[in-house]
Structure 1
Amino acid sequence: MSTCATASEAQDEPLAGTAASARTWLLIEQPGPWGAKALTQSRLDPGLGRALEAAAGAHGGRVALIRRPGRHADCSPTARHRVFLARTVPGDSWVRTAVLSGSDSLEALRDIDFAAVDAPEASGKDTAAALRGAPWEPYAGDPLALVCTNGKRDRCCALRGRPLAAELAASGGANVWEITHIGGHRFAPTLLVLPHGYAYGRLGAAVVKGVLDAVRDGRVTLDGCRGRSAWDRPGQAAELAVRERTGEARADALSVTAVETAAPADTTALTHTAALAADGADGARWRVTVAHTDGRRWRVRLAETADGPPLPASCGAAPVRSVRFDVEECVQEAAVAGAARG
């Protein structure tokens, strides 16, 4: 049976630079069935789902539903909901959690100040002030392993994701949840790991366990890595290129400090989405600066080009051009004087 995942595998579509971009993730436990648009097609109040999605999206965040691996009958409303809020920016990565009792208690999530969570210095608010309403507390448990399993959105996520989630949950050593959507159905099984926010694809349980072991030590592994969600997609590809060339594995050692398009000249410093609209995916070039906590910096030049025949982004979707990021240049620049050592 041909699916979006098998078609992507057959073409050996690259994974680097394919993670969803989100500096903040709000995860809401909602058992039972999920529709294709789970925030408005589940037992979660659809008005609340729309409001949270809009509030988070306006400030670089995403909202998703989660549930424990297993069977998901259309059961009665849930009495209690575990929620997580995570920030994935290097040097300021954290996870907060709370338990909310009853469906009405989820209304407290409307009080989250997503603007302050995304830009605490600009807002003048600390994390406690930004997280109003719910009884948030720091999360210090095992890494959060979030496996996309929503078959109503794409069958590959169910066919490949649910077995992975079940095996990881049975083996222990991680806090495993099914999640509604993290993007990239064709790379199923897809996985988001918090607190650092790296996404992975096409990995079996044995390799994922190695990924989770590394996360406990504050490290990132490159096998199957799609990128860190804190960055735009060119930034993701550039960071992974620097890691591959230097062997740097510490998750918070590298940051993307600048992303500019190199062609055409009049789109310099546009966002990834805006630059593609101006230039088209085929032929776009990017200049990305990646900085190390010890003061080293790299200038990475990427070419974003169409690669091979069109592929469906998800099962049943019309085929579109697949794009890849090719590293044309990765040059270390002089260290910044007085930079912090790390």
Structure 2
Amino acid sequence: MSTCATASRDLDEPLAGTAATARTWLLVEQSGPWGAKALTSSHLDPEVGRALEKAAEGTGVRVALIRRPGRHADCYAPTRHQVYVAHTLPGRTWLRSEVTDDPRRLLDLDFTALGAGDHGGFGTPHTGAPLALVCTNGKRDRCCALLGRPLAAELAAAGEEGAWEITHLGGHRFSPTLLVLPYGYAYGRTGTHAVKEILAAARAGRVITEGCRGSSAWERPGQAAELAVRTSTGEETAEALTVVDTEGAAPRWEVTVAHSDGRSWRVTVAQGASRPPRPESCGAALKTPARMDVVAVRQASASVAQGASGRRRP
């Protein structure tokens, strides 16, 4: 039986503008099995999971569970939990880590501040390899397990110390899906060789656009617009581009993308429908998922002041 990932790949569904949106990621290690809603259906205390979900609502913070690739039997549940917090807004990116024996302590964090880019002194700066987070949660969609778990295992076997499994990145039909931190770029339909190149680029502060779904720092129109500017200019520096303004509403937006050197571009993005119908998840009804199509990329005549935060205007 065909999977949702097979259908999406065969229909050449575009990847740009499909990344999960999060200015800040809070990742909590929790081995053992994961349910479809992992924060409340894993060995993490479900009361803590529910409280973390509630604390993150509307703050720009996305909470997910992670675990090392490999076996996940109950007896391997750790007494200590690795925690990462990453902020992905260009020019202000950071990745910090801490180990805790009580995830309940994370409820003391100021989630509003985290979403705005203020870590409040949490943990210590992460100085290791970029994090390669592969979605493997087969309880949400079997493609994530069938395609994601082998990829995560291959990365770990190849010595990628930043390789982790993660509970959910959205877009099951683009499996195997990957999020790279600290810069927050998501990828789809990734193979081991491609991921190694992506991580090598991230270590050098660069972004590879092939297979990229977009930066989680932006809403979907901004993701597509920023990638379009990268493609048209050949810009690879990770923190060079910022989405400073988004005007309009579905199905059409005008997005302003600024470069750190003062240049800027106006990008027209239109929302279309992916046809013919296909399943967005395995076993789901056939639908025509929204897609972000870049209609035009035009360099602006005047520079756009830096320091804007990707605001949207109706």
TM-score (norm 1): 0.87
1:318 corresponds to 2:285: yes
2:133 to 118, 141, 146: 146
Tell me by how many angstroms 1:79 deviates: 1.0
The answer on whether the counterparts of 1:294 and 1:339 sit within 8 Å (CA) in structure 2 is no
Residue in structure 1 matched with residue 103 of structure 2 by the alignment: 106
CA contact (8 A) 2:218 2:243 kept: yes
2:112 corresponds to which residue?
A: 115
Residues 304 and 108 of structure 1, relative CA distance in 2, 3 Å threshold: same
Structure 2 residue 43 is matched with structure 1 residue 43:
yes
Check conservation: 2:95, 2:126, Cα contact below 8 A.
Answer: yes
Aligned structure 1 segments of 4 or more residues deviating by more than 3 angstroms: 337-340
**Residue aligning to 1:298:** 265
| Whole-angstrom CA distance in 1 between matches of 2:93 and 2:17 | 20
What CA deviation, in whole Å up to 9, does each residue of 1:71-104 have, x standing for no partner?
Answer: 1112265211101011010011111100112xxx
Which stretches in structure 2 are left out of the alignment for 5+ residues? 308-314
CA-to-aligned-CA distance 1:183-236 (integer Å, 9 cap, x gap): 110000000000000000001100110000000000000111000000000000
Calculate percent identity across the aligned residue pairs: 63
Which residue matches 2:54?
54
Q: Is the contact between residue 258 and residue 306 of structure 2 (CA under 8 Å) also seen in structure 1?
A: no
In 1, the alpha carbon distance for the partners of 2:109 and 2:236 equals: 33
What are the equivalent positions in structure 2 for 1:1-342 lying under 5 Å apart?
1-75=1-75, 77-101=77-101, 105-119=102-116, 127-128=119-120, 131=122, 136-261=123-248, 275-276=249-250, 284-336=251-303
Q: Deviations over 1:120-172 (max 9, x none)?
A: 5xxxxx5335x4xxxx1111100100000011111000000011001111112
Could you tell me how far 1:258 is from its partner in structure 2? 0.9
Rate the CA distance shift 1:205–1:338 in 2: closer, same or farther, 3 A: closer
* Structure 2 counterpart SS, 1:157: helix
Q: Give the direction of change, closer, same or farther, for the CA distance of 1:305–1:169 in structure 2 (3 Å limit).
A: same
Instruction: Give yes or no for contact 1:305–1:325 (8 Å, CA) kept in 2.
Output: yes
Q: Would you say the 8 A contact 2:263–2:304 is kept in 1?
A: no
Q: Which has the larger radius of gyration?
A: 1
Q: What letter corresponds to residue 42 of structure 1 in structure 2?
A: S
Q: Distance in 1 between matches of 2:283 and 2:55?
A: 30
User: Letter of the aligned partner of 2:220 in structure 1?
Assistant: R
What is the CA–CA distance in structure 1 between the aligned matches of 2:11 and 2:64, rounded to whole Å? 30
Determine the C-alpha separation between the residues in 2 that align with 1:174 and 1:328: 40
Q: 1:324 Cα shift?
A: 2.0
The one-letter code matched in structure 2 to 1:172 is: G
> Cα deviation per residue 1:232-283 (whole Å; 9 max; x = unaligned)?
000000000000000000010000011122xxxxxxxxxxxxx45xxxxxxx
Residue 317 of structure 1 aligns with an amino acid whose one-letter code is: A
- 1:264 aligns with none
Task: Give, as a single letter, the amino acid of the residue that structure 2 aligns with 1:287.
Answer: E
Preserved CA contact (<8 Å) 1:90 1:251: yes
Q: Provide the rounded CA distance (Å) in 1 between the counterparts of 2:73 and 2:238.
A: 38
Q: Could you tell me how far apart the structure 2 residues matched to 1:49 and 1:112 are?
A: 14
Are the structure 2 counterparts of residues 334 and 40 from structure 1 closer, same or farther at C-alpha, using a change threshold of 3 Å? same
* CA-CA distance at 1:328 after TM superposition: 1.5
Q: TM-score under structure 2 normalisation?
A: 0.94
* C-alpha contact (below 8 Å) 1:26/1:64 kept by paired residues: yes
Q: Do the aligned partners of 1:13 and 1:322 also contact (CA within 8 Å) in 2?
A: no
Instruction: Indicate how the Cα distance of structure 1 residues 215 and 288 shifts in structure 2: closer, same or farther if over 3 A, else same.
Output: same
Contact 1:174/1:212, CA 8 A, preserved across alignment = no
Q: CA, structure 1 residues 39+295, in 2 after alignment: closer, same or farther (shift >3 Å)?
A: same
Alpha carbons of 1:327 and 1:32: their partners in 2 closer, same or farther (altered >3 Å)? same
**Larger deviation: 300-309 or 140-149?**
300-309
| Alpha-carbon distance between aligned partners in 1 of 2:84 and 2:293, rounded to the nearest angstrom | 35
